[in-house]
A and B are shown apart, each in its own frame.
Chain A
Amino acid sequence: MQPLKAERRDPAPSRTAYRIQRLWLTPLFRLLLRVGLPVLVVLGPMFWYVTDEARVDDLRVRIGDLRNSIEQRPEFMVNLMRIENASDEVAEDIREVTAIDFPVSSFDLDLTEMRLRIEELDAVARAELVVRSGGVLEVTVRERIPAIVWRARDALELLDGDGHRVSALDSRARRADLPLIAGEGADRAVPEALELFAAAGPVAGRLRGLLRIGERRWDLVLDRDQRIMLPEIEPVAALERLLALDAMSELLRRDVAAVDLRDARRPILRLGPQAIEFLNAVVRPGDGDDT
């Protein structure tokens, strides 16, 4: 005999269902499930993958390949270098220094490093490197302009206004237009030297150059081996005073071996041999005969 009605289900939850519901209502458990489980799901496979060396290597190789294939696309290739605002020699030097064998991917170019390397060249004051579209590496250079010739201990060198070396010079005659300085440490005082040259305009025709003495002060050398010993402090003002004196009394045209301006209170003259003779004859006529 079968019952006519289906047996009514017990409305009470089973012990398991009851316990599961209570567990589910536990805040810590919910937190664990809501946060811990997704974290586990995400991090677990990652961890499993990472633990095997071979898989990681494989992954690394594949990533490298992918990277390569993107880098080697023609859109990213650089085919030639264009150098702007540079003389041929400097351009030659730049090409030599950068030493890129084209074509090369623009990802492989370290522009900053290349810029520093180019700027290390003496003739280059500043360089800007830009990869232009069409695969052109454009190097815009500002060259150093030679302002002065320095006769160093063993060679002639061209310096710019800041005293930075521009290039070597084989003979003074090639750059006769530039003033000449000499002496140890003269390159470190080039701006001052330029000021002095500017101030020495009235005697420009006779000017041979500036000589750095003891790495601290200048001697202005004129022709006839005439020297103007300038002070360490404010040499330009001293020179201007002397030139004013010269304009008045034509001091420098006379037989003066050296004018010592180091004492600011008065210039001291060293006379030439003829002048001394003349002085002796004129000022103390009897003295010479007596002795």
Chain B
Amino acid sequence: MSQFYQNQRAMRTQRQAALQRGIIGILDIGTWKIGCFVLRFDGVAGNALGDGIGPMAGQSRFRVAGVATTRSRGVKFGEIDRMEETERAVRTAVQAAQKMAGVRVDHVIACFSGANPRSYGLTGSVELHESGVSERDIARVLASCEVPEYGPDRQVVHALPVNFALDHRSGLSDPRGQIGNRLSVDMHMLTVDTHAVENLLHCIKRCDLELAGIASSAYASGVSSLVEDEQELGAACIEFGGGTTGLSIFIRKHMIYTDAVRMGGAHITSDISKGLQIPMALAERIKTRFGGVEATGMDDREMIEIGLETGDWEHDRREVSRADLIGVMRPRVEEILEEVRARLDAAGFEYLPSQRIVLTGGGSQIPGLDGLAARILGRQVRMGRPLRIQGLPQAATGPDFSSAVGLCLHAAHPQDECWDFEVEAERYAGRSLKRAVRWFRENW
């Protein structure tokens, strides 16, 4: 337990150090595109905005200074496959974003969708020595969680307390100061393959950047595209990415489950490419221009010209109807959704009080997807777009930027304050020194 405690804390301090400097980069490494945002934090205190305006989960504190996207290279299933190529793509994105922002980025927070995320629920409980719950008790209960054996080549990315219970009262978000005898915690822990993280780390190092944190892109899209009551009451965010489809379940503003289906928009494109015997680039263009999942009578008559340059006239001058295209795409989309449903069922999503499903990610722009998803997932489905944040250009407000926007929100308002607790409790000497320094500052 203590080792990942240290990890989480190290990541948190690193991110806070980056925030101190005011400039932080957001790197969304996807299978199809790599997006880079440059955030500028200008330190407006959250509560200083005026009457009735809250801190807005930290959104008011930063603005997006630079945005760049580039086609991703060397990434497969959301994992780095060819380091050199990915490094180039990252360089392209970072350089363009830096140029737009006019500042140099040193710290980046990255998210990726692959690497087999797996969720674990942990519980821990301690007896309280005193009647009230102190910060030290929270640190103790966090440290008391039993960590399952998640394998030698796996690594913890998120570990957050979801729920605190005091004696028989459950559902506490902050038990500090409350009276009870026994404090227990439910924690959600997410592990990913170590090699993917290490590759990412190496790749970012090679771009002269420093990694100030990593997140799962399913988590990031959930943060940005679920509205507040959905996050509170329970909802699943399904992110249709290029190589993987991530899903994250939120309740009480905390993520409780994450998984990823290793299929995505790239597979649909490759199906089209195989089915229509056209190159991938053309298949991608046809998919984005004419794609859909619900065939109607009109679609039988709508013919799509396939302009090829192979030299075989008959082959090049073919025309396919839109219904044919839909016929190729739909089985794959159905397969993905079936798989997602299986994951949701495995996670016990139907026992949540509210079962809203939000579709986001670049792949969710397929027309008619919400109808198909409603049929397969059987629940209330809506299309999700990321929250609007300050300074974001119009071109980057689509659902394909939901994980990047979510990562911005995560950087501005991370939910891992709980990892500070033990620091305060353990190093009392350091704290008194800090107090002495503060006294000096205030009095001189």
Interchain CB contact under 8 A, B70 and A21: no
A22–B92 contact, CB under 8 A? Answer: no
B98 touches A12 (CB 8 A): no
B43 close to A (CB within 8 Å): no
Stretch from B56-64, B99-107, B216-224, B268-276 contacting the other chain: B99-107
Q: Mark A2-13, 1 if CB is under 8 A from B, else 0.
A: 000000001111
Return chain B residues, CB-CB under 8 Å to A12. 70, 88-89, 91-92
Out of B92, B102, B103, B208, name the residue touching A13 (CB < 8 Å).
Answer: B92
The answer to whether B98 touches A22 (Cβ under 8 A) is yes
Choice from A10, A21, A26 contacting B95 with Cβ under 8 Å: A21
A25 contacts which of B70, B91, B98, B207 (Cβ < 8 Å)? B98
| A22 CB contacts on chain B under 8 angstroms | 98, 104, 208
Interface centre among B70, B95, B207 (most CB of A within 10 A): B95
Given contacts A19-B208, A21-B99, A22-B98, contact A13 B104 (CB under 8 A): no
Residue of A nearest to B99 (CB): A21
B92 touches A11 (CB 8 A): yes
Bound complex: CA A63 to CA B76 (Å): 76
B89 neighbours in A (Cβ, 8 Å): 12
Interface-central residue, A19, A21, A22, by most chain B CB under 10 Å: A22
Q: Please, how many angstroms separate the alpha-carbon atoms of A26 and B91 in the complex?
A: 17
Excluding A12-B92, A18-B95, A25-B102, 11 further A-B contacts by CB distance (< 8 Å) are A11-B70, A12-B88, A12-B89, A12-B91, A15-B91, A17-B95, A18-B94, A18-B207, A21-B98, A21-B99, A22-B104
Q: Kindly report which residue of chain B lies nearest to residue A21, judged by CB atoms.
A: B95
**Closest Cβ neighbor of A12 among chain B residues:** B88
Question: Which of B88, B89, B99 has the most chain A CB within a 10 Å cutoff?
Answer: B88
Q: Quick one: closest A residue to B90, CB to CB?
A: A12
Pick 18 A–B contacts, CB within 8 A, sort by A.
A10-B88, A11-B70, A11-B92, A12-B91, A12-B92, A15-B91, A18-B91, A18-B94, A18-B207, A18-B208, A21-B95, A21-B98, A21-B99, A22-B98, A22-B104, A22-B208, A25-B103, A26-B104
Expressed in whole angstroms, the minimum distance between the Cβ of B310 and any Cβ of chain A is 13
Chain B contact-residue range equals 10 to 19
Contacts of B70 in A (CB 8 A): 11-12
A200 to chain B, nearest CB (A): 82
CB contacts between A and B, total, < 8 Å: 30
Majority secondary structure of chain B interface residues (helix, strand, loop or mixed): helix
The distance in angstroms between the C-alpha atoms of A152 and B431, with both chains bound, is 95
Neighbouring B residues of A26 by C-beta, 8 Å: 104
The residue of chain B having its C-beta at the shortest distance from the C-beta of A23 within the complex is: B104
Distance in Å from the Cβ of A32 to the closest Cβ of chain B? 14
State the A residues within 8 Å of B (CB).
10-13, 15, 17-19, 21-22, 25-26
B91 close to A13 (CB less than 8 A): yes
Centre residue among A11, A12, A17 by max chain B CB count within 10 A: A12
Which chain A residues lie closer than 8 Å to B92 at the CB level?
Answer: 11-13
Cα A25 to Cα B95 in complex, Å, equals 10
A19 and B104 CA atoms in complex are apart in Å by 11
Considering only residues 77-98 of chain B, those with a C-beta below 8 Å from chain A are 88-89, 91-92, 94-95, 98
**CB closest chain-A residue, reference B96:** A13
Instruction: Give the 3 A-B residue pairs with the shortest CB-CB distance, closest first.
Output: A12-B88, A25-B104, A12-B92
B210, chain A: closest CB distance, angstroms? 13
Closest chain B residue to A25 by CB distance? Answer: B104
Q: State in angstroms the CA–CA spacing of A176 and B176 once bound together.
A: 120
CB distance from A22 to the nearest CB of B (A): 5
Per the bound structure, the CA–CA distance linking A13 and B99 in Å amounts to 13
| Closest Cβ–Cβ distance, residue A56 to chain B (whole Å) | 44
* Complex: A26 Cα to B102 Cα, angstroms: 10
Cα–Cα distance between A24 and B209 once the two chains are bound (Å): 15
**A22 to B106 CA separation, bound complex (whole angstroms):** 9
CB neighbours of B207 from chain A (8 A): 18
For B91, what are the chain A residues with a Cβ–Cβ distance below 8 Å?
12-13, 15, 18
- State the CA gap A18–B94 with chains docked (Å): 9
Residue in chain B with minimal CB distance to A11? B92
CA A10 – CA B91 in complex, angstroms?
12
Q: How far is the CB of B100 from chain A (nearest CB, A)?
A: 11
Q: Cα distance A15–B95 when bound, in Å?
A: 11
Report Cα–Cα, A19/B91, bound state, in Å.
10
Q: Which residue of B lies closest to A15 (CB)?
A: B91
Give every chain B residue within 8 A of A25 (Cβ-Cβ). Answer: 98, 102-104
Q: Report A-chain residues with C-beta under 8 Å of the C-beta of B88.
A: 10, 12
A-chain residues with CB within 8 Å of residue B208 when the two chains form the complex? 18-19, 22
Q: Nearest B residue to A22 by beta-carbon distance? A: B104
Least CB distance from B278 to A in Å reads 18
| CA of A25 to CA of B100, assembled, Å | 11
Contacts of A19 in B (CB 8 A): 208
Considering residues A11, A15, A18, A19, which has the most beta carbons from chain B within 10 angstroms of its beta carbon? A18
Q: How far is the CA of A25 from the CA of B91 in the complex (A)?
A: 15
Cα A26 to Cα B21 in complex, Å, equals 13
A22 to B91, CA, bound (A): 11
Shortest beta-carbon distance, B301 to chain A, in Å?
Answer: 36
CA distance A13 to B90 in the complex (A): 10
A25-B96 Cα distance, complex, nearest whole Å:
12
A25 to B92, CA, bound (A): 16
For residue B99, which residues in chain A have a CB less than 8 angstroms away from its CB?
A: 21
* CA gap between A201 and B89 in the complex, in Å: 118
A25 to B105, CA, bound (A): 9
In the bound complex, how far is the Cα of B209 from the Cα of A18, in angstroms?
12
Alpha-carbon distance between A13 and B89 when the two chains are bound, in angstroms? 9
User: Nearest residue in B to A10 (C-beta to C-beta)?
Assistant: B88
Q: How far is the CA of A12 from the CA of B88 in the complex (A)?
A: 5
**How many whole Å from B214's CB to the nearest CB in chain A?**
22
A194 to chain B, nearest CB (A): 74
Q: Which residues of B contact A21 (CB under 8 A)?
A: 95, 98-99
> In the complex the two chains form, what is the Cα distance from A22 to B88 in whole Å?
15
